[in-house]
Every structure is written in C-alpha cells, then in structure tokens.
Structure 1
C-alpha cells in the first residue's frame, strides 16, 4: 500500500454550477465534496477497492452520514476538505471530515460509516488485512453518530423522484448524495438547514421511483423517509435539523 498520510486534505473551489440563487453552496454540494475527498484518499492509499479471494471485486458503500453545516461556502470560494479514517471494527469503517475556508474557518463537519461490498453479489464482506491500522486514532473526532434517524409518524410533505442515469455512481446505483437531495427537495425550501443525518438501507437504480416523505417540524428537526414506489421498500431514513 502507498505511504500516504492518515489525515488527507483535498482543496476545492466552489464552482458557479454548485451554488443556488444566493450564490452559496448547498448541503448537497458539500456532500459531493466529502465523497470526492474520501475517494481521493482511498485511491492514493491503494484502498479504493479490493480483489476477493474467490474472484470479483469489493468496493466501499456508505451506510450512514451525519453532516453539520456552520456556514455555506460562497461561489468561487476556496475550501479544503480534511478527512481521516477514524475507526474500524472488522466489518465497518468510520471516516470523519472537516471543511474549512481560506482563513481556516470551520464551515462544516461530518462523520460517515462505510461497508465493503462484493460488487457482483451486492453483499457486505469483511475488511481485508490491508485495512489494519488504517485509522487516525490520535485525531479528535469531527462528529459522532448518535441515535439513528426514525421514520416520520405523520407526513406533512411528500414528493416522488425518478432515478435518472445521471444519478448513478460507478457501482451502478444512485449516489449517496442523491438521497440527501431527494430528502430535502420534498420540502418547499431549505433555508435554515443546519444538519443532515442519513441512514442508508437499500440501493436505488434506474427505473425506480423514489417517494420522499417528510414529517412536520418538531423541536427544530424533521423526520424523512425514502421508499421505492413499486414495492414500498425502505431505501433510507433521515433527520434534518433547522434554525
């Protein structure tokens, strides 16, 4: 494996195509930046994917993401995403993130949980020996995973989205950031969004229609549920926090 630092920093400039009418990046854009930084760290370290003993290939799939946004970066602002593997437990790997501006101001923090899956069989596999010791145990956590999101008890808003080819990632299912988009886009607006916590349960592919249900605002938070329209299969649960 390549000798790369456990704490990786990836620079970005916020492009005009990544901002809204207020010229700031959305939570969805930040999710994309986190994923890109994680992928570059995994690639550089030789841990982007692994061959399986019986043939085939294993790659990473996100199962949980919690993102807290302090300030949305502006168009053309230069930011840096610092990321590091924060824990391993044999089947899962945790990766943390810290997004900073040019003056080192903390813009957002996040943590995420990942599995390796057999690409062909779509089943989790154990972490290989190459992952042993690949964790920055002396680095403070950016954020921790608390209680998982729960489904809304009642539905205040609902919207259906078709999974497009442009939604797919290299594994052939909808990119994890699209789940965040579907959860938030069911609402009339996203002003005041401060935190997103997503629990991924099943994949979505081209041809699926995704029903996004959102519960009412209670104590500053909303519960979200994503279902596959054809059979009601649970795709994800989410919790958003607002100011």
Structure 2
C-alpha cells in the first residue's frame, strides 16, 4: 500500500442542530450526507480546486454511490468532526472516504462514496485523474466497497408515492441526492421505523429528479437473525425510470454497533 500524500486528509467541525435530527433525536441520513458533501467541497477548495471553478468550465461533481455504516447515531447538540480524503481513482470515478467522529475522537459513522466528474453539456463522465492529476490521495478505505450493482427482489412488499417540492431543489436545479435517503425511509412501515434504526445503507443514484415529479418508493423487507433488511427502488412515475435503489440494514433502537460490527445495549 502506498503512503498517504501530504494534505490528503481534511477535517471540518460540525454541530448537530435541532433541524438535523428526527423524532428519536438521531441525526437524519440526509444530514450525514450533507455534512459529507460540505466537508468534501471545503477539502477541494482548500487545495485550490473549488467547485465554482468547475462550474465555469461546464463541469460538476456527481455522486453515484454511498455506503454508510452507522456505529452510533449522532444526537442533537453533539460536537462532531468529519474527516475526508480521496482514496485514488478507478476509471471515471474516484472513491472518497469519510469518518464522522465525536468530541472524544471516537468514530460514529464510516462511509465511502463514488464521485464522478461530469461534463454538464455533453452529459459525459470524465476521468478525475486527468482533470486533477496532482490531487493528493490516501489509499485507505473507510468502508471497503467496489460498488457492485445492488440487488432488486422479484417482488416488493410495500409501495408509496412522494411528490418533489420546490424546497427539495438544489443549485443544480434538481433534487438534492441526500433526500433520496429520506424517501427510502418513507417506504418502511411505522412499526419498523419506530422499533428499529438504520445502521448500514448502500444507495446507488441512477437519475436526476425534478420539481413536481411523483416518486414511487417500492420496498421489500426481509427479516434476518441480525435484524431486518430492506431493499428499495425509487421510480419516477412520469418518466417510468429508476432513479435510485438502496439496501438498508436495521437494528433495534437502543442497541449500538461497534466499529467491528458487534452489537451492544
């Protein structure tokens, strides 16, 4: 394994605000993704690669995958540090890693994401290593994942529709991808959501979503010894196309999972 380059890792401090948490006091999945994206943008800007410069060139970063492991849920008023780094390049995407730590330095959340550089006009991916050959990397992975395709079941156990609001739009003119995680949560039963919390989520973003669209959330649930597992498919009703799919592992509320996967009360 090659050593980490200077400035490969970057940290940024956050606080869990009241609008970041849900009714159980845990930080929402969308809050985690927003913290990750904010920190990665600040990292690039600190190295002289601000997103604003990419926009002038007709380029933008898009995130095609996330894999999150939540060892302990951040809570309201927690002081947090997000650490991020790029782990290298693989063709037209680069894995970016994240560690979310509490004020004592204990890791609460580990995540890996797949970032792709997109030519907005041509709608064509570019190799990040070509555009940023000197971007420092650290080969360590927070969550080892080759981002293989996520499965879909033969049938679904539940279906629900959500409508995209104006407030869901971001500066690119489509729904912020952090919200896709919340739509998946709409697909589970009240009983599951009240009794369990997500401890691991893999999500693949497959398409943009725009204001006024109705998204059908199809959900399948399986019960395993370790806890429930749900698969989700998000479909644009008007365009009849899949815009995301996800796999979520759940654990009873009140139980925490350590970094090595063990469960404790």
Q: With the length of structure 1 as denominator, give the TM-score of the two structures.
A: 0.89
1:51 Cα offset (Å): 5.1
Partner residue, 1:193? 198
Number of equivalenced pairs: 237
Partner residue, 2:106? 105
Partner residue, 2:35? 33
The reply on whether 1:204 has 2:199 as its aligned counterpart is: no
Structural mapping, 1:1-243, within 5 Å: 5-49=7-51, 56-127=57-128, 129-138=130-139, 140-146=140-146, 147-189=148-190, 190=193, 191-219=196-224, 220-243=228-251
1:210 Cα offset (Å): 0.8
Farther-moved stretch of structure 1 (124-133 vs 9-18): 124-133
Counterpart secondary structure, 2:128: coil
- Could you tell me which runs of 5 or more consecutive residues in structure 1 were left unpaired when the two chains were aligned: none
Counterpart secondary structure, 1:184: helix
> Residue 89 of structure 2 contacts residue 129 of structure 2 at CA under 8 Å; is this kept in 1?
no
CA distance in 1 between counterparts of 2:64 and 2:119 reads 15
CA distance in 2 between counterparts of 1:61 and 1:17 reads 25
Deviations along 1:40-66, whole A, 9 cap, x unmatched? 1122223244559xx841010000001
1:119 Cα offset (Å): 2.3
Partner residue, 2:261? none
Counterpart secondary structure, 2:135: coil
Deviations along 1:62-110, whole A, 9 cap, x unmatched? 0000111011111111000000011213411110000000111110000
After superposition, the Cα gap between the structure-2 partners of 1:154 and 1:137, relative to the gap in structure 1 and judged at 3 Å, is same
Q: What is the RMSD computed on CA atoms of the aligned residues?
A: 2.0
- Could you tell me which runs of 5 or more consecutive residues in structure 2 were left unpaired when the two chains were aligned: 1-5, 252-265
> Residue 56 of structure 1 contacts residue 120 of structure 1 at CA under 8 Å; is this kept in 2?
no
> Residue 183 of structure 1 contacts residue 212 of structure 1 at CA under 8 Å; is this kept in 2?
yes
Q: Which runs of 4+ in 1 moved over 6 A?
A: none
CA distance in 1 between counterparts of 2:172 and 2:203 reads 20
CA distance in 2 between counterparts of 1:57 and 1:75 reads 38
